Amino acid sequence: MGTRSYAWLAAPITAFAVFSLTAGILSAHDPRSKAYFRLFFSDPIHLKAGFATAAVALACFQVFSAAWIFRKLPWQKPAWINPAHRWSGRLVFVCILPVAYHCIFKLGWQGADSRTLAHSLFGTLFFGAYAAKITIVRLHRFPRLVLPIAGGLVFTLLIGLWYTSALWLYRQDASAAPPAAAAPASANAANGARVFAIAGCGGCHTLSAAHSTGAVGPNLDDLRPSFEQVRQKVEGGGGGMPAFGSKLSEAQIRDVAAFVSTRARSG
């Protein structure tokens, strides 16, 4: 049987469009506060970063093993490389599942800044590219360059996803400022408790002083952030948390930062 004509590219292109559009439509909602899970990670955000990093490592092996399979490396191809290539691809898909669950069905589309917008775009396009590559693999007999191009697109989008989420998070963790000065005297922690409640912070965070048990973001009792860390995070968002700089007043942000920084683990 001969090579398929380029007209057959309509099949993977259609798969790309349908799956990208579906991912985008399903993720078009406000973040939800229930049904997250974290397994052995500190919170769902670090779970996403961990699985995305594992997927990238496996994808790098996919590129390496593909080069070996197509005899682009100077070594003789061993018998195990083909099944290893297939299974590493399957494991990439398994690692992406918990990431997709939290990104699409829980956190939803994010576009508060250029990083989160790029991450959302990379995510929706990745699922389309993955579907297109699977379509090409299953149908067989496409022109020689079609599969490498599809695989390269999937790999590039996955790296983009990882760069705008996991790598960014790990850099934030590494550069996190040490506990700074205490809350200023002008801050009202009692009012901060009310702000914590009306802003819905308890839906995402555990804080015993607020009687909240949210599991989306970090456990504040365990984290014990400083006043400035809380203030910056509430104002600017990041790591899956929306920014409240345009929703809360400067005084409210100051008060809730004082409440969290002084009452974590002490309530």
Task: Determine the structural domain holding residue 30 and report its residue range.
Answer: 6-174
For residues 225 and 30, the answer to whether their CB atoms sit within 8 Å is no
In a domain, 181, yes or no: no
Please state the domain count of the chain: 2
- pLDDT of 182 reads 67
**Which of residues 141, 174, 207 is at a domain's end?**
174
In a domain, 60, yes or no: yes
Q: Which portions of the chain are predicted below pLDDT 50?
A: 267
Residues 155 and 245 in one domain: no
- pLDDT tens digit sequence for 200-251: 888 888 888 888 888 778 888 888 888 888 888 898 887 667 888 888 999 9
Residues 195 and 258 in one domain: yes
Burial (0-12, 13-18, 19+ Cβ within 10 Å), 34 = exposed
In a domain, 168, yes or no: yes
- pLDDT of 267 reads 46
**Which of residues 149, 174, 199 is at a domain's end?**
174
- pLDDT of 130 reads 95
Residues 221 and 136 in one domain: no
Closest CA to 119 of 13, 15, 27: 27
Is this model's pTM higher than 0.85 or not? no
In a domain, 233, yes or no: yes
In a domain, 153, yes or no: yes
**Which of residues 148, 174, 200 is at a domain's end?**
174
Residue 121 CA: distances (Å) to CA of 35, 52, 94, 144, 255: 24, 16, 21, 28, 35
Residues 23 and 126 in one domain: yes
- pLDDT of 167 reads 92
Residues 165 and 138 in one domain: yes
Residues 122 and 150 in one domain: yes
Residues 82 and 45 in one domain: yes
Residues 137 and 203 in one domain: no
**185 membership: H or E segment, kind and range:** none
- pLDDT of 200 reads 87
Residues 164 and 198 in one domain: no
| Helix locations, 43-188, DSSP H | 44-69, 81-100, 114-139, 146-162, 168-174
Q: CA-CA distance, 166 to 223, in Å (whole number)?
A: 19
In a domain, 182, yes or no: no
Residues 124 and 234 in one domain: no
